[in-house]
Amino acid sequence: MNTLEKVQNNLAKFSKSERKVAEVILASPQTAIHSSIATLAKMADVSEPTVNRFCRRLDTKGFPDFKLHLAQSLANGTPYVSRHVEEDDSPESYTTKIFESSMASLDTARQSLDIAAVNKAVDILTQAKTISFFGLGASSSVAHDAQNKFFRFNVPVICFDDVLMQRMSCINSNEGDVVVLISHTGRTKSLIEIARIARENGAAVIGITARNSPLSLECTLPVTMEVPEDTDLYLPMASRLAQLVTIDVLATGFTLRRGPRFRDNLKRVKEVLKESRVNKDLTI
């Protein structure tokens, strides 16, 4: 809870002197955070230890720590939080909400992402003979994105939208092949089957999906994360963003693992592509 509110709400629980301190702070919080304990004590007409005790009562470590908390609560604006779009939101309002919710989701995704798994995935990818990216529905665009990225690394990349093609591709997979399956819920039946098929053929199966989902259990290496998704009315968005960024992380890990010479090469390839374009611009 906001520290300033806490001061306000606990007003009744303070002792007489502590309340004096609280009142001085509430009267002018900006002054409070820029004062020393001595100054504040004088303003409240109490002793310095009283101010200190007041701070501790609010579960802070002491006066400086209290000031820090207070400063944070005074800082305008709230941290990014998922907020639902309401019926009568203005354009400004729903735009802000959607952007901030997206950011909040990415933050959640990052915190829940299994870094060790990311590292292993990079390991596996760098050693792959071929890499396949499969997703369905909304996740298929993520697979395409992945193809786009890894293709530039000069690695054989496969990417299909079609369930049958995905299946056939996996039936023909071998040891050394890597199959990356992308699914937010990890409950898409056909992808789960594909995971099993690829695994039985000896391919490494990386799943970018939810922890403990059916798909994650079929993968040789689940790269899991949790993304809160409000799919009730609006369309899944947060999970897609998180998947895209995760792919970016894997691609980055890939280039880092390959070492500087590889990256120089990548840069050169990019330069060449630029030159071949009329508008000298590849970033589109």
Residues 104-143 that bind its own copies (CB under 8 A): 106-107, 109-110, 113, 115-116, 118-119, 122, 135-139, 141
* Burial class of residue 210, CB neighbours in 10 A (0-12, 13-18, 19+): buried
Query: x/- binding map, residues 15-44, to its own copies, per CB under 8 A?
Result: ------------------xx----------
Does 102 participate in binding DNA (rule CB under 7 A)? no
Site for its own copies in 246-265 (CB under 8 A): 248-249, 251-253, 255-256, 260, 263
Q: Would strands 177-182 and 157-160 be described as parallel, antiparallel, or unpaired?
A: unpaired
Instruction: Please select the residue that binds DNA; options are 22, 24, 37, 247, rule is CB under 7 A.
Output: 37
CB of 2 to its own copies, least distance (A): 10
The answer to whether residues 222 and 216 touch, using CB atoms and an 8 Å cutoff, is yes
The reply to whether 236 sits near its own copies by the rule CB under 8 A is yes
11: left (phi over 0), alpha (psi -120 to 50) or beta: alpha
Which one-letter amino acid corresponds to residue 59? D
In what order do the strands lie in the sheet containing 177-182? 157-160, 130-135, 177-182, 204-209, 221-224
Which residue has tokens 């939208």?
161
Residue 55 engages DNA in binding (rule: CB under 7 A):
yes
Return the number of the residue (20 or 195) whose C-beta is nearest its own copies. 195
Any contact of residue 18 with DNA (CB under 7 A)?
yes
